Structure formats: C-alpha cells, structure tokens
Structure 1
Amino acid sequence: MKQTRTESENFLRPEGFLSQYKESALYCSRLLFFSLLCRSKDSMYHALTYATILEMQAMMTFDPQHIQIAGNTMKEAQAISTLQKLLSIFFLEELHAEVCYAECLLQRAALTFLQDENMISFIKGGIKVRNSYQIYKELHSVLQSTAYTQADNHGHFEGGVKLGVGAFNLMISMLPTRTLKLVEFVGFSGNKDFGLQQLQEGSAESTLRAFLCNMLLLCYHTFMSFILGTGEGDVEDAEKLLQPYLKKYPKGSIFLFFAGRIEEIKGNLDTVSIVSSQQQWKQFHHMCYWELMWCFTYKRHWKMAYFYADLLSKESCWSKATYAYMKAAYLSMLSKDDCLTFEETEVTLFRQVPSLKQKIAGKSLPTEKFAIRKARRYLSENPIPLPAPPLEMMYIWNGYTVIGKQKDLTEGMLKTLDEAQAKLERTEFSIDDQCLLSLLKGLCLKHLGHQEEAEHYFTHVLCNETQIKYDHYLVPNALLEHGLLCLEQGRNIEAVKLLEAAKHNYKNYSMESRTHFRIQAALQKAREFGENGTHEPCSPLQAAGAQ
C-alpha cells in the first residue's frame, strides 16, 4: 500500500499505538522511527538515519512515490548537514557534518538513478557519486594526517569515513576491466583488500556506522561474491559478523535472513528457515520467497519452487517477467499428469513473458532480457521445449557453486541433466541445447571431483562454437568455467589464457555484464595465486579455444 509522508507521520503518532504495542518489537521499531522523525529537522544524524530508512524502503519497493519521498527527505538531510558545517565552531563538528554530507550525496545519487530514465539524471547522479568519492578521499587523508587529533565522538567520524572509503574501494574493485578503466580515467580507484579491511575495522567499533559496515560485509560475502563473482565469499567471516547480532536480536528479521542465506550457501538446505515474521515491509518477505524458491530448485522440488515463484509474481513488483518465466520453467519439469493440477500452463506462461518486460533506472533488467530470449521458442504454433530451463537460470545465478557443497544435490542435478539430454529431439536448437547441457554437466562433474570429464564437456562447447545459433553466451561462459577449473588444478598460465579469451573475444551476448564481473573475479583470483601452479601444456583443442 502506498503511503505519503503525511500518512506516515499520522501513522506514527504515539497515541494511536502505544497501548496496543507496548511490549512488542513493532512498538519499539515505531517508537524509534517516531523519534527519528521528531528530530530529523534539527539533527543531521537523526535526519540522515531517517532518510536512510526511507531510502531502503524505496529501494525494496521501486515505488515512484516512495522514491520521491526518500529523495526529498535525503535532500533535507543534506541541507541540514550543510548548515551544520557552516555553523560549526569546532573542527571535529565540521568533519562530522562533512561525512554526513558525503553519505547523503551518495544515497541521493542512487535515488537519482532509480527515479528518472533520462541521460541528464544519469549525469547528475554521476556527479554526486564523484563528489561523494572525493570528499571521502579527503576525509581519509585527514584521518591519516599527523596534524589530526582525536576528540570526543571521534569514533563516529572515523566509522563514517571507513564506511564510505571501504564501500567505494570494494565496489570499484569488482567492476569488469573495461568499466574499471573508464572510472579510473575520471578519478576513481579501488582496492578490494583495502575496502574489506576498512569495512572490517568499521564494523568492529561501537559507532553509528558499525551496523552498516557489518551489513555491507554480509552482503558481499553472501550475495555479491556469488552473483557478481566466483562464489569465493568468506562464509566463516560472515558467520562471525552475524553471531553478535543474532545473540542480541534472536528474532531480528534481517539477521535471521542472513543466517538462512549462510546455511543455504553452505548447502545445508534442510536447515534453512528465512521467512520473515515482520509485517511492516512486505518486500522483505519477497527476498525470503526468492531464496526459498532457489532452495527448492536445488533440491529439485519443482512444485514448491513454483509455489514461491507464484507468490512473487502476485506480490512483488521487481520483475514480473522473470517470475512468469520461472513459473513456466518449473511446470516444464513436471509430468503431464502433475501439470493438470495447475490452472496455468507452461506454454501460456512462457508466452506472457515478453509482455511483462519493464525498465528500472531506464534500463531493462538483464535477467528479463535473458528470459524473453529463451521464451521466444514458445511463441510459434508448434513450440520447441527448452531442455531444462530452471537449471539454466540456476547457472545465471551461480547456483552450482551452492549445490557443489553437497554431493547428493550435485548427483541429483546431474541425473536430471542426463534425463533432459535423453529427451532432446533434432531441431534447429539441437546444437544449442546440447552445448547448454554440456556446460551444466561439466559444472556438476567438476564439483564431484571428475575434473577430466568436466574439462571434456567444457571443450565440447568450444568445439561447437561455430554451430551455435542462438545461445552465444555459452562459449565465453564455457571458457570461464574451464579457466576456473584450470585454476583449481594449479594451471595458472593456461587459466589466464582462457579467461582473457573469454573477456576479449566475445561481445553482445546474453548476461554479458554478469559474465565479465565473474571473469574479473577469476582473474583477480589468478593474480592472488601467482604463477606458481604446475603448468600443463594445452591440448590443440584448448589452445584453439584460448586464441
């Protein structure tokens, strides 16, 4: 339900809920929100925190009205920071105001990208990001200066700087090389290890930004390193970061969510319980539904996966096209008798996908583009079925890194891929489908320790490169997976050749940006290993693929 700011203020009047929620968590959260609202006009920290909460809501809902309210509130918080800076008598007060100003700038930039779709908005947002980055650099220099002396509340200022510097360094370091060169040209630079160190130090102190540093680290270890990397997040570190919060807030929704996510990426799917009990932000439930959908996908429980995809399609505004595609994908894995129990059909749902496309920040979602391309096979009068659509989308979200932790899950997925291969018919998509199944079977075999067989399947994709008609993304991803396999075997020189080939020799294919993020992460991994691995000569086929 949409809420204007006035409605939010009326909703938070204490007389309306004090008696009903006196001893509940809901009462506590509303009381905190009310306190922030009351002081948001005269305190820069209250204003920033209040605006940050509204921005989180806007980011989760993508509701234009929420985005507008959050943007206006953040603009007011920035104005209060500016005023505080002008009125500051002491140097440390000015520094506090400066770090709040930089944080407001960064968050306003994010809202600018969401709010408007035109190029002017993107330029304005880019300028805000650059100004914020420069302020954080200058404040970090102040901290390192010998002339700087600590005073009261020094920790809160230092925590704010560590949050900003750490976030910028971490995010910039993850960018693909070609994007990284562009941002470095305009004055940005990033170092992953330094960024993680800054956030780690910021999370360890009892400061206002410790929680945000902690959440950013948890997001990196449990999500970003999987979706935009090779799945090398530090799960042990994530557990250590989370434990103090779980102990203090055992029923806290966000902490239970991360606890569930950690169990999920460890492969302990039977212990995952991440449905939130809170009711204020329904969008938080949608994040839980999304993770549960994938948990049941990993276990090949197609009906339960369909159930959560259906919930998302009815309640979430993020990507109706993706949800419809996933519902159709799960139905495609069921027998004809099982499908009779559903009101919707696989073909009908696949045909709906293109009409549900939307734009966020002026851009179509890459996952939606991918789903629409795959669903085209169902638009003709005689649709040609996709071989195993949930397992293909699972690769896009790096799910094989998750099931690779559990032998039975991986063996089950390999069996399903064998069954899909047995059902393949000779069509114009035959080579594409064979190559897709080869890539996915190679991943399963790699995680099962059958490295030679896995390598055979990856090179099979490269052998058929010229015959692939539609799914051109398979070739650079086969090179990427082959390169990661070589890294595991210590064949670093060969791995780098394969990864560089994947990076430079292919473009304009599905999910290209995500593949480049993963290639960048793999190359960083190769650099960390150095070139001390045992180098084995390439076969003629491998050499051809790496050229």
Structure 2
Amino acid sequence: MFSTQQCAARDSAPGDLEACLKECMEALDLFLNNKFEESLDKLRPQISDSMYHALIHATIVEMRAMMTFEHDDIINAGSTMKGAQAVCHRFRKKLTVVGKMSKPTGEGFTEDELHAEACYAECLLQRAALTFLQDESMVSFLKGGMKVRSSYMIYKELHQFTQSHDFHKGPNHSHLEGGVSLGIGAFNLTLSLFPPRILKLLEFAGFSGDKEYGLAQLQEGASSLNLRSLLCTMLLLCNYTFLTFILGTGEDDISEADRLIKPYLSRYPKGAIFLFFAGRIEEIKGNINKAISLFEDGCAAQQAWKQFHHMCYWELMWCFTYKRVWKMAYFYADLLSKESRWSKAMYVYMKAAYLSMLPQGEERPFGDNEVELFRQVPSYKQKIAGKSPPTEKFAIRKARRYNSDPPRTLPVPVLEMMYMWNGFAMIEKDEALTQGVMETLLEAERKLHEGPVNEYSIDDSCVITLLKGLCFRNQGQIDRAEACFMHICTSEKHIHHDDYLVPNALLELSLMYIRLGRKEEAIRLLQRAK
C-alpha cells in the first residue's frame, strides 16, 4: 500500500493517483456491502492529504446527514465537506480562475490538477445542497447559489476540455470522465425539472437544462467502471423510480431502471441501497407483495444505519395502503413519526388518516386517537431550503378541519394523500387493487350521502368523484372516468375549500385524452388548468 505522503505529493506520479483511486474504490465497495463504518475507517487516515479520500469520506458523511436530517449532523457534514474542498483546492493548478482554464485544450494542466478541478466542483455542489438545508435565510440562499454557479462553470470547462480532439487521456481518465459526466448530467437533469419561465432565466445566466442530454451523460458515467459510476446510477434510478412519479406522470419505461440495477444486485445481493431500489421497481410494476418482501429484506440486511430503514418504512407504508391493510400502514407511519425527522407533519397526518379508515368501534393501536393526531399536525410544520414541502402544507390545511367541535371529518384522507403521491399509477397494473380502492370509495360515498350536509359536503363529494374517476381510468372505463372529471369541472362554483380539485380534474382528463390520441383537446384542457 502507498504511503500518505505518496498520496499527498503535489507533483505525484500517475501511479500515486491510481493508488488513491483504487483504495477509494475499495472503501466504496465496503459501503455497498453495508459496512458503512469500516468504509469511513478506511478513508479517514488520509482525508487531510488525498483529494479523493477527502471527497468520498465527506460524501458518505453528507449522505448520512441527509437521511438523519439532524441539525448537528448537517452542520458536521457541512464542516467535513468544507475541509474536503480545502484539500481538493491544494491540488488545483495555481491561479486557476473558475471558468477560465488556460486554453480550450487545458494545456498546462497535470492529470492531478484536472482531477482536483472535478473533485473541487463536486465539493462545491454538495456544500450548496447543505447550505440550502441548514439555513432558511436569503443570505444563505445566495451563498448556495454562488457555489452552484461556480461548480457548474468548472464542470462546463472540464467537459469542453475532455471532449477536445487535442486532449491527452491520462491513465485514470475514466474516473475524471465519470466525475464530469456526473456533474453535467446532474445539472442538466435537475435544471430540466424547473418551470420553463425559470429555466429560461437560468439558461440566460449560462446554465443548461436539457433532460435528455443530462440522462445521456449520467448513462455514460454509469456505464464504465469509475468512482462516480455508483452516484450516476443512483441519480438515474432516482429519476426512473421517483422523479417521474412525483414530478411527472410516471409513464417512463421502468425497464431502464431494471437494467441498471441488475449488475449491482448480482454483486451486492444484500446491499441495502439496491434492495430498496429493487423494491421500488417491483412496486411500480404493480408487484406489491414482491416489493414488500424486498423492502423487508432491505431492513434486515443491516442495522448500522437505521436511516436506510426509514426509506423502506415509507414505501412499506404505501404498499400496505395499496392493499388497504390500514393497521400495517399505520404501523410504519408510527415508526417514521418516532424515528425520522424528515417530515413529522406528514407522518403524524398519515397515522391519523389510517386510524380514520378503521370502523368507528374498532380499537385503535397504542390507544391513539385520530382527532388528537390531526390536531397535532400543524405543530410539526418545517421548512426545507426555506420552503414548506407542498405535501406538508396540504396535510396541515386538511388537518385543520379537526379543530372544530365537533370535528369535520375527512371522507378518505388516506386515498386523497395517495393521489398526491401519484399512488393510483402504482395500482393501475393490478386490477384487484384498483377494485379494492373503488369499493372503499363507494362506501365512503354512501356514508357521505347518509350524513348531515355541511360546508364541506360538496368538496368531499368531489374528492371522492375525482378518485373514482382515476379508478375508472385504471379499469379502462373511459366514459365513466370522463363523466367523473367533467362533473368536478361543472361543480367549480360550489367548491369552497379544495381549490385543487378543478385544475387536477382538468389535468387528469387531459392525460387521459393524450393516451387516446386526442392531443388538441388535451392541450386546451391543460391551458385551462394552468
């Protein structure tokens, strides 16, 4: 094994950089085998002397902080990443100006200096993410924005340089290219998610937000054996299994995620990260029982980082929701409310929602009471990057109905929130699951019609109608689905509280028309919804 001095040498030979990269790959291998602390222990002795040891160590520390969401962990991660950035800076070419490399070909840069640029840009980007999380002030937002811009400009110059015909590839080029692909891919994919109006301003400022180009860059980074291939793969898996469902329609081809994860599952059959993504893929396919088994395996695979369990608990909660096993879903919401800091308002709301789905006289687990839980929800409100998460704001607004005496109960709060997380796309491939949800909606509709009329009656009826429309669409009963969505639109003047219903009904109707090839009608509906 090479010495610390060898790794730290300013003008090190190519073999020294190669040795550093090899040891970091070994540390990453430990991490993927659930040996998280052993991985950190392997990296720690050289974090003051090796840019790659410093970067990978700080990345793992930040990953843990992101999952715990503890203030002290986030502060520690920020300090660790700042230290890593300082180490990377020592290896950079003297007098390098961000965005102004010496020549388009990068002439005069050693291999170490090029790697240092990529590592430095990655540290900047990760520090920006922590800045947005740990402080809500405008000053911190601007500081984070400056880090993002500096990072992007470095990546942009490196990308132009590595694509040049005059560029001479060093022996560790695959790792450098992987780092550039990660940066360019992550920026393009992330920025493409911004609204067009904001994206135009960002592009005017020099940023690029091309989704397909970003995905292609990440695919390139994931396809070769390099230190960043894991991060490229994880970003792609997040896109195919989460972003397309939470921020889109969820109609992307899941086969690409399947292809990406297979080699990792083969090499790391007990790897908690990959068991989690494998479960998510099965969930999207509609194989809910198989998904549950994989999420449970992910929890059993390791006990060192309980935060990995929380990701599985969240998905298990929804899996049992799709199956309408309310008490099991409640159990996972309860675990999250006690162990995870990410969104206590959401977890407590879901606990209350599941209890409200149980028959009136049935005993509640742990002696909990849904009315009391709903009333607690606003007290858990928080901000991430200066903003309250939209689903939290939605939960708080809904929960306020229980402040009155007697409380104005919600008809199907679980299924309504399931819609907010695009859960109806999950049950579409299993006819029995859709039929089960329809039965629950019909029962809720019956109770609503039999109960006393109040100021929420029309809103509640329209909520049920919207969800029935989604079930009809899943079942291929297009005329009945269309009738449901149109009914909500014609009820616009009578809806007093749930102002999301009409635009969402128009959206769902337009998405259905797109499937049917009626694109001109769909565009008109989308414009009206907007």
TM-score, normalising length: structure 1: 0.85
1:489-538 deviation line (CA, Å, top 9, x unaligned): 011111122122222xxxxxxxxxxxxxxxxxxxxxxxxxxxxxxxxxxx
Return the alpha-carbon distance in structure 2 between the equivalents of residues 233 and 440 of structure 1: 22
Q: Answer yes or no: is 1:150 the counterpart of 2:150.
A: no
Is the aligned partner of 1:38 residue 2:45?
yes
Q: Identify if the C-alpha distance between structure 1 residues 178 and 214 changes in structure 2 by more than 3 Å, giving closer, same or farther.
A: same
Cα distance, 1:141–1:27 mapped onto 2, change above 3 Å: closer
Alignment of 1:130-169 (within 5 A): 130-169=149-188
Cα distance in 1 for residues equivalent to 2:390 and 2:186: 24
Structure 1 pair 299–190 and aligned structure 2 pair: CA distance change class (3 A)? same
Shift of 1:361: 3.1
CA distance in structure 1 between the aligned counterparts of 2:272 and 2:60, rounded to whole angstroms: 15
Q: What is the rounded CA distance, in whole Å, between the counterparts of 1:413 and 1:179 in structure 2?
A: 38
| Corresponding residue for residue 82 of structure 2 | 75
- 2:362 is paired with a residue whose SS is helix
Aligned to 1:11: none
Contact 2:92–2:116 under 8 Å retained in 1:
yes
* Whole-Å separation in 2 of the counterparts to 1:417 and 1:305: 18
- Asked if the contact 1:286/1:316 (under 8 Å) is kept, the reply is yes
For 2:223 and 2:191, how far apart are their aligned partners in 1? 23
CA distance in 2, matches of 1:188, 1:24: 33
User: Does the C-alpha gap of structure 1 residues 27 and 196 become closer, same or farther in structure 2, counting only changes over 3 Å?
Assistant: closer
Matched residues in 2 for 1:25 and 1:110: separation? 23
The counterpart of 1:419, out of the listed 443, 448, 461, is 443
1:30 to 1:315, Cα distance in 2 relative to 1, 3 A: closer
Percent identity (aligned): 61
Residue 99 of structure 2 corresponds to none
- State the partner residue of 1:306: 330
Structure 1's 53 and 314: CA in aligned 2 closer, same or farther, altered over 3 A?
Answer: same
C-alpha RMSD of the superposition: 1.8
Matches within 5 A, 1:7-86: 28-86=35-93
Q: Distance in 2 between matches of 1:341 and 1:375?
A: 20
Structure 1 position 191 matched with structure 2 position 210: yes
CA contact (8 A) 1:339 1:345 kept: no
CA contact under 8 A between 2:33 and 2:268: conserved in structure 1? Answer: no
1:478 to 502, 505, 508: 505
Matches within 5 A, 1:204-283: 204-272=223-291, 273=293, 274-275=295-296, 276-277=299-300, 278-283=302-307
**Change over 3 Å in CA distance of 1:30–1:347 after alignment to 2:** closer
Counterpart of 1:461 (choices 488, 496, 516) is: 488
Q: What is the rounded CA distance, in whole Å, between the counterparts of 1:252 and 1:27 in structure 2?
A: 6
Query: Equivalent residue for 1:316?
Result: 340
State how far apart, in whole Å, the 1-side matches of 2:374 and 2:475 are.
Answer: 33
Q: Distance in 2 between matches of 1:456 and 1:186?
A: 46
Q: Which is worse superposed, 205-214 or 313-322?
A: 313-322
SS of the residue corresponding to residue 362 of structure 1 reads: coil
**1:324-363 alignment, distance < 5 Å:** 324-340=348-364, 342-363=366-387
Query: Which digits, 9 at most, give the CA deviation of each residue in 1:435-458, with x for residues without a partner?
Result: 111111111111111111111111
Q: 1:291 to 1:25 in 2, by over 3 A?
A: closer
Aligned position for 1:180: 199
* 2:458 aligned residue (413, 422, 431): 431
AA aligned to 2:472 is L
Give yes or no for contact 2:68–2:342 (8 Å, CA) kept in 1: yes
Counterpart of 1:494, as a letter, is: E
What is aligned with 1:489? 516
Write the distance in 1 (CA, Å) between the matches of 2:199 and 2:468. Answer: 33
CA distance in 2 between counterparts of 1:242 and 1:419 reads 41
Instruction: Give the stretch that moved more between structures: 418-427 or 331-340.
Output: 331-340
Conserved? CA contact 2:32–2:271, under 8 Å = no
Give 1:377 shift: 1.1
Moved more, 136-145 or 45-54: 136-145
Runs of 5+ consecutive residues of structure 1 not aligned to the other structure: 1-22, 504-547
Greater CA drift, 83-92 or 461-470: 83-92
Q: Structure 2 counterpart of 1:237, which letter?
A: E
User: Structure 1 residues 26, 187: closer, same or farther in 2, change over 3 A?
Assistant: closer
1:523 aligned residue: none
Correspondence for 1:518:
none
Match of 2:477 in 1: 450
Going from structure 1 to structure 2, the CA distance change for 1:342 and 1:85 (only over 3 Å counts) comes to: closer
Between stretches 89-98 and 297-306, larger displacement belongs to 89-98
Amino acid at match of 1:64: H
What per-residue deviation string (whole Å, max 9, x for no partner) do you get for residues 299-338 of structure 1? Answer: 0011111111111111111122111111111111111222
Instruction: Determine the C-alpha separation between the residues in 2 that align with 1:339 and 1:97.
Output: 61
In the alignment, the residues of structure 2 paired with residue 115 and residue 334 of structure 1 have an alpha-carbon distance, to the nearest angstrom, of 39
Q: Report the 3-state secondary structure (helix = DSSP H, G, I; strand = E; otherwise coil) of the residue aligned with 1:363.
A: coil
Equivalent pair of 1:331/1:339 in contact (CA under 8 Å): no
- Measured after TM superposition, the shift of residue 465 of structure 1 is 1.2
Q: Equivalent residue for 2:414? A: 390
Amino acid at match of 1:442: G
Partners of 2:155 and 2:184 within 8 A in 1: yes
1-structure distance, mates of 2:167, 2:140: 38
User: What is the rounded CA distance, in whole Å, between the counterparts of 2:472 and 2:241 in structure 1?
Assistant: 24
Paired position in structure 1 for 2:220: 201
Q: How far did residue 342 of structure 1 move? A: 4.6
1:16-62 alpha-carbon deviations (Å, 9 max, x no partner): xxxxxxx9998954332112111111110110000000110111111
CA distance in 1 between partners of 2:179 and 2:241 (Å): 23
| Alpha-carbon distance in 2 for matches of 1:298, 1:471 | 24
Tell me how far apart the structure 2 counterparts of residues 117 and 145 of structure 1 sit (CA, whole Å): 41
Judge conservation of contact 1:220–1:233 (CA < 8 Å) in 2: no
Q: Deviations over 1:83-118 (max 9, x none)?
A: 101379753322111111111110000000011111
> Partner residue of 1:366?
390
The residue number in structure 2 matching 1:290 is: 314
Q: Structure 2: which 5+ residue stretches go unaligned? A: 1-29, 97-107
Q: Which residue of 1 aligns with 2:127?
A: 108
Q: Normalized against structure 2, the TM-score is what?
A: 0.88
- Paired letter, 1:393: M
AA at the equivalent of 1:216? L
* 2:78 maps to amino acid: G
Find the counterpart in structure 2 of residue 535 from structure 1.
none
Distance 1:246 1:340, change over 3 A: closer
Letter in 2 for 1:414: M
Judge conservation of contact 1:321–1:368 (CA < 8 Å) in 2. Answer: yes
* Number of residue pairs matched by the alignment: 481
